[in-house]
Each structure stands twice: as structure tokens, then as C-alpha cells.
């Protein structure tokens, strides 16, 4: 399998008291002048959310999820007869945040034409304060939020000086009790990049591949001295980012040598010594797509060789 095919194979995946207008039927508007069903328009949605109060992205009965809240609010704002189906770039886990999430929905053209100008403003009023739609509008031809993506970029924040920790950022930063040697952590991280079987750092799923192409993994300190990991891959298997961070923290605090994470990787089995760190330090920062003229080809390639679903975190 060529590298492009291999990369594509593992690519991704308001105020609650406010009474919103009820949905109304658009059955008449969903046909063209000849009486034939009108082609839908694909809408790209760029959004951010604080994952603290959500049970992850994916809709689940009886649970508050990002997908559930967003789809229901879209249905009300656009006066749809039912909540639209959403496709997302990265299905984040419970407690994981997103600054650069991307989704799409296919809507009747007449519905979008009637609400396009006011959609973003109305969503800002209707959504709860822990979700913001940054942009919403027609997607280029061939766009698929999940299958067209080239890569996803996550960050993970760690404060290793609890006395200096910012309590206002405690919901997005892990407080670590011991100082970290970022040079050692980066030396270890450098042995993990590239295409590998990350079974040792993933929760296995029946029939799912754990091969991933890790493009970047490194640590830097921000202006406040917080250690921030940058993790980029075509896609991530379940718990992969948090397990990688946990292994590198063990190196940074000196309890494991820099060679240990690569040895764990080579073993290709879950090691109970690898700690999966809490989700609140993790954030989906960006999803990158090819140029508009290459979107359809990328999505087609990804679908043709896809063997599993991806999640973030």
C-alpha cells in the first residue's frame, strides 16, 4: 500500500432555559420547480466548545453531548422538522475541549437560503455558552468534514509548578506535582513519530486498525511556563493522545528513561505502566484540509481504504 493510501486509511473521523421557536415543515420547499426533490446544500460548521460539561461529541441517549446540543439547536434555528445529521472531523471524548472542530450537515437548499444571513447570529443567541459556532456556510464541492481531512492537531497543557498554577485555567490544564524535563520528553517523543502500530497506546476495538501516522509530537513552554504538547496525526485511535502524554510525563519526571516509550511502542500491547492522563488538558486545535480542488479526491481515497472509525483523545 502506498503511503498516501495508508495515511488515508487511518484518517478521521444556549441557555437551556431559553424557549426556541418550534420546527416547521419544509416539504414544499424541498422540491424544485419541476416537482423533483431539490439537491441539498452541504454546510460547513466551524465550532469551539468547552468539553467540561459534555459527555463527549457523539450523541448518546440521556446524556448531554456536543453533537446532541448542536444538532437540536440547528434544527430549531433553521426551523427544520427534525435535527440535522452531523458529520464531524474528530469525535472528542468526555471532557475534551475543541478550539478548531469542524462538522458538516446536508440541508435543503431552500432552508439554507431562507436562514443563511442570520444563522450564525441566531446560533450565538440560542446555543449555551460552552459552545460557539465560529463560522457556518456552504462548503466547497467535494467537502467532507471527516473524510476530506488531512490531519488533526491537538494540544495538551500541563502545569508542573502547582504553586504557580492558574486557578482560572484549571479546567483546561493538568496540574502535575513534579517538575518536568522537557528536553528528555522531546528526546523520547522523537522516537515515536512516523507511521507505527500504536496498539500499546490505544484502546483496541474489534476489527479496528491501530496503525497511525504521527506527524508531530513535541513539548514547549508557553509564556506562563506551562508545558504544552503539540500532537499532529492523520487520525487518532481511542485514548492515543492521552496515553502518549502519560508515557512522556513519566520520562519528564525522571521515573522512566527516554528510551522507555519507544520500547512500549515496539511491544505493541497495552502496558499498565502507561498512565492515560485526564481528558481536561486536551484540546482539538485544528483540522487541516487540502485545497478545494482536492477535497473530493481526498475523501474518495479515504473512503476506499478506510477500515475503522477514528476518535479524538
Asked if residue 231 lies in contact with residue 156, where contact means CB atoms within 8 angstroms, the answer is yes
Apex 272 CA angle, 208 and 53, nearest 5: 70
Q: Which helix (H) or strand (E) holds 297?
A: helix 295-305
Asked if residue 151 lies in contact with residue 161, where contact means CB atoms within 8 angstroms, the answer is no
What DSSP line would sit under 66-126, residue for residue? HHHHHHHHHHHHTT-SSPPP-EES--BPTT-EEEEEEEEEEEEHHHHHHHGGGHHHHHHHH
SS3 content of the chain, % helix, strand, coil (to 5): 30, 25, 45
| Burial label, 34 (beta-carbon count in 10 A; 0-12, 13-18, 19+) | exposed
CA distance 39 to 60: 30
CA distance 297 to 306: 14
Residues known to be catalytic? 93
Residues 6+ apart with CB under 8 A from 253: 176, 178, 179, 180, 181
Asked if residue 228 lies in contact with residue 156, where contact means CB atoms within 8 angstroms, the answer is yes
Amino acid at each position: 500500500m502506498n503511503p498516501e493510501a495508508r495515511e488515508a486509511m487511518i484518517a478521521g473521523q444556549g441557555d437551556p432555559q431559553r424557549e426556541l421557536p418550534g420546527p416547521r415543515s419544509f416539504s414544499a420547499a424541498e422540491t424544485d420547480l419541476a416537482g423533483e426533490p431539490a439537491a441539498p446544500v452541504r454546510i460547513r460548521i466551524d465550532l469551539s466548545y468547552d468539553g467540561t460539561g459534555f459527555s463527549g461529541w457523539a450523541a448518546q441517549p440521556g446524556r448531554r453531548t456536543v453533537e446532541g446540543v448542536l444538532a437540536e439547536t440547528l434544527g430549531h434555528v433553521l426551523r427544520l422538522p427534525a435535527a440535522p445529521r452531523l458529520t464531524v472531523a474528530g469525535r472528542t471524548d468526555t471532557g475534551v475541549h475543541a478550539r478548531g472542530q469542524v462538522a458538516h450537515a446536508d440541508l435543503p437548499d431552500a432552508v439554507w437560503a431562507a436562514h443563511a444571513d442570520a444563522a450564525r447570529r441566531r446560533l450565538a443567541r440560542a446555543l449555551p455558552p460552552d459552545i460557539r459556532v465560529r463560522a457556518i456556510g456552504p462548503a466547497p464541492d467535494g467537502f467532507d468534514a471527516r473524510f476530506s481531512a488531512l490531519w488533526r492537531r491537538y494540544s495538551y497543557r500541563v502545569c508542573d509548578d502547582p504553586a504557580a498554577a492558574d486557578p482560572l485555567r484549571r479546567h483546561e490544564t493538568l496540574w502535575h506535582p513534579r517538575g518536568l524535563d522537557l528536553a528528555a520528553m522531546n528526546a523520547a517523543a522523537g522516537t515515536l513519530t512516523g507511521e507505527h502500530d500504536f496498539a500499546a497506546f490505544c484502546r483496541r476495538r474489534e476489527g479496528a486498525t491501530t496503525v497511525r501516522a504521527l506527524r508531530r509530537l513535541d513539548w514547549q513552554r508557553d509564556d506562563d511556563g506551562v508545558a504544552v504538547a503539540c500532537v499532529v496525526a492523520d487520525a487518532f485511535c481511542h485514548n492515543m493522545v492521552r496515553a502518549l502524554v502519560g508515557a512522556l510525563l513519566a520520562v519528564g519526571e525522571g521515573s522512566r528513561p527516554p528510551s522507555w516509550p519507544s520500547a512500549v511502542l515496539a511491544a505493541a500491547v497495552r502496558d499498565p505502566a502507561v498512565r492515560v492522563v485526564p481528558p481536561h488538558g486536551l484540546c482539538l486545535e485544528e483540522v487541516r484540509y487540502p485545497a478545494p480542488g482536492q477535497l473530493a479526491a481526498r475523501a474518495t481515497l479515504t473512503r476506499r481504504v478506510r477500515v475503522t472509525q477514528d476518535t479524538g483523545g
